[in-house]
Structure 1
Amino acid sequence: MATRALILVEGSPTGSGLLFIQAAQRLGFHPITLSSDPAQYDYLAAETYEAVRVDTSNLDALIRECSDLGATYDIAGITSSLEAFYATIGKLCRHFNLPGPNPTSIERCCDKFVQRQLLAEAGVPIPAYRLAADGKDVESSVAEIGLPVVLKPAVGAGSVGVRLCRDADEVAEHTSYLLDGKHTWGCSPRILVEEFAQGPLYFAAIMGNEVVGIGAAEYDPPPHFVFRECTFPALLTDDEHERIADVSLSCLRALDLGWGPKSIELRWTKRGPVVIEVNPRLGGAPTPQLVKLAYGVDLVTQHIKLVIGDEPNLQKRHSQIAAVRSLIADRDGTLDWIDGDSRATAVSGVAEVKLHVKPKTPIVRKGDYRDRIGYVIAASPTLARTKVILQRAVNLISWSITPFDV
């Protein structure tokens, strides 16, 4: 009998790629990663997980590779931990008659302007928005919406190219950044100009049509959107939880996203929950770890069950307060040293300490997810206790960065 394999398209150096491999193995599958550059993932080499080099931007190349692998393995499912490849995953799954997302729905959702249009048509509360192709469009859009605004690429993830602009100078500066060759576009430049929805930030973790949990999050100080802390579950009243869940599920209907995992970002404003973004995939690490610690639900494992055609089990097994704190570089330069992670790991209540960088690494802050050089996760029965544990562990980690001009 052929070995059952789970195909993973690309992974994540700092995200959920390894979690998918480990979960696949626990379920009895042989994980195979298809990547244009397998060497970028340290965990593949460290544990000798199987990887195949292939042009993952080429659907035909992926189909050929999966067909070749099918001659040796029984391919049980195909998936990815990355949003950028999720529409491709849907197309691969349809080609091989495997369970997967609707690629048309994914493509529409990943275009933030189209997503906004569909949500607005369905009456889902969202910020005011306009689409701009050049500086003149941006100026007129800002005039219509009013400052402050958020400027972001219409297609992208991880807050790359996203900035809060509080005055005309910041608008001009970021418009120049996006349009004058400093930002890398995978398509023709299209800028989304959005009203800045102000209020507490929440995330809904969803599998299928079920809201598994709602977390509260905070960003580092503006103008960028770099995650500093996230807590599951958020401390909400029953009414607040119900309203966020209802709005989240209305997004799924508007975008035809009934299958698989989703992560929805919302802010609680003066008019209640307002949808900032719908991500048609599992929230990146460490969201799966937080949900597992908080509720006992392993979203990665349940996602893989969906991928192979099984029913996921989303029953909550326990209740804790889990929180993560990002470790964020405070300057550009060369990382001289970083330590204290082993001491932090030893703190009672700490679930995980992860460092993304090693000494002598150049640190160049981008104002997005790449600014996080690690994280610490803690969990306990109460929010107060979890925050104490988290702070104690974070205080044990230190580093030194020498500026480039020194």
Structure 2
Amino acid sequence: MRLLALEASQYGTYYVSRYQQVEAAGAELFVLNGEGVEGTWPADRNRIVGSKKIGDLIAAAADWHREHAFEGVLTFAEASVTAVAAVAEALGLPTIGPEAARTSRNKLLMRQAHQRGAAAHPAFRLVPDLARALAAGEELGYPLVLKPTLGAGSYFVFKVDSPEEMRERYPQAAEGIKDMAWVTMEADGVDLGPNSLLVESYLDGREFLIEALAWDDEVYLGSVVDRVTVEGDTFDDDVHHAPTSLTAQELAEVHRVVRVGAWAQGVRRSVLHAEVRFHRGRPFLLEIAVRPGGGGLDHMARISAGYDPIRAVADVARGVRPRVDHFRPTGVHTAAMCLVSRAGRLAAIDVPEDVSGAEELFFFKITASPGDLIKRPPEGNNILGFLGATGSSFEAAMDTATALAARIRVEFEQ
């Protein structure tokens, strides 16, 4: 199979390991970057357009398609799902379509779709200014969650407990979304819906991350992971565990809400990354994205549930039903975490060889480099990387992951 991967704006080498997984699944992968630098993928299968205008991306993809006859177009980048839908439609290749892509990208449009489709979701209000945010607080009650409509990675997402905190947090979020990378990396000329802020009612229960697949009349939960972090007010300290602690009845309820939500978003054939949180005993949708989850969630899915979301992306892109069944945990315990540091200009990262080579690790990736500016809330949400370990129990896996992460040394410029 010959596939085209697209990033409207190249995200460094972040997705290269996933491109390699696609090729390991039997594909010949070509990578088209709107804006970026050469050298991240073999030169004969990588093109830099020099523009992220959607018309230029479509023209470049069409030109390459005439030469190589791609079977499908894919992306792993949240900021490129709308561009991929437009490119695939222009090339006559399988796609969820621009409308479903836009609905699955913009949190306001997503919430409105959930409302129309009767998928359980938190109460929400669009708040383009502080006055309306404060009015929403009076109407819905605190605590609330303040978030960007076009966000990702928990950037500028705040738990707000009072009108005083809203007055503090709203200007921070409003300023942050002006040049937020998840918006600036989008293709130019694509309708993304409103770039603004939402408030949502706060859900106070357990949270779960799901790698799923929508295929015609069914939605499959390929992998279910527990978010086990003690939560602060900036949603930036993710630690995850699989297999899930959900009961069979709870899994059935989660399956139903994800299925209803995906259909409400107009998604009938796509890989999904769903985030669900319980509130007063019921599961509610936080979001459903039309790409796999980040970090090491693809590795956790394979190890803990026997589901491969990366291979599924390649299959869906060419219109082939992936190998998937309803959730069946393997019983192998995994624990994964984001590597979080303080803010500052990074001078060096020292990873001992017996850490990077530890046999218990199933995933280890440093995403930051010396010279990078690490921003922490409320200015941003940069991390150093990801680390995941296996164990005979959650406690064993978590202890190993924590001990290995503690041995990574980070230095900052003065």
TM-score (norm 1): 0.88
CA RMSD of aligned residues (A): 2.6
- 1:9-20 residue pairs with structure 2 within 5 A? 9-10=6-7, 12-13=11-12, 15=14, 17-20=15-18
Paired residue secondary structure (1:72)? helix
Query: Does structure 1 residue 111 correspond to structure 2 residue 115?
Result: no
Tell whether the 8 Å contact from 2:240 to 2:336 is kept in structure 1 after alignment: yes
C-alpha separation in 2, matches of 1:156 and 1:69: 31
Amino acid at match of 2:21: A
> How far is 1:318 from its partner?
4.2
Amino acid at match of 1:190: S
Q: Match for 2:242 among 203, 223, 232?
A: 232
- 1:295-334 residue pairs with structure 2 within 5 A? 295-314=305-324, 318-330=330-342, 332-334=343-345
Change (3 A) 1:271 1:29: closer
Q: Match for 2:160 among 150, 162, 165?
A: 165
- 1:274-285 residue pairs with structure 2 within 5 A? 274-285=284-295
List alignment gaps of at least 5 residues for structure 2. Answer: 184-192
Query: Does structure 1 residue 201 correspond to structure 2 residue 211?
Result: no
> How far is 1:86 from its partner?
1.2
C-alpha separation in 2, matches of 1:369 and 1:343: 31
Paired residue secondary structure (2:19)? helix
> How far is 1:290 from its partner?
1.3
Tell whether the 8 Å contact from 2:34 to 2:57 is kept in structure 1 after alignment: no
Q: Match for 1:265 among 264, 267, 275?
A: 275
Tell whether the 8 Å contact from 2:391 to 2:397 is kept in structure 1 after alignment: yes
TM-score (norm 2): 0.87
> How far is 1:370 from its partner?
4.1
How many residues in Structure 1 have an aligned counterpart in Structure 2?
Answer: 395
C-alpha separation in 1, matches of 2:154 and 2:202: 14
List alignment gaps of at least 5 residues for structure 1. Answer: none
Q: Match for 1:77 among 72, 76, 91?
A: 72
C-alpha separation in 1, matches of 2:137 and 2:409: 41
Change (3 A) 1:250 1:189: closer
C-alpha separation in 2, matches of 1:321 and 1:111: 34
Paired residue secondary structure (1:235)? coil
> How far is 1:364 from its partner?
2.6
Tell me the equivalent position of 1:31: 29
C-alpha separation in 1, matches of 2:150 and 2:372: 29
| Percent of aligned pairs with the same amino acid | 19
Change (3 A) 1:368 1:126: farther
Change (3 A) 1:37 1:244: same
Tell me the equivalent position of 1:136: 131
Amino acid at match of 1:380: G
Deviation per CA, 1:63-94: give whole Å up to 9, x if none: 21122212321212111111222122122222
C-alpha separation in 1, matches of 2:354 and 2:369: 17
> How far is 1:183 from its partner?
3.5
C-alpha separation in 1, matches of 2:199 and 2:383: 26
Amino acid at match of 2:299: Q
Change (3 A) 1:20 1:374: closer
Deviation larger for 250-259 or 48-57: 48-57
Q: Match for 1:355 among 360, 366, 376?
A: 366
> How far is 1:381 from its partner?
4.3
C-alpha separation in 1, matches of 2:125 and 2:278: 21
> How far is 1:358 from its partner?
2.8
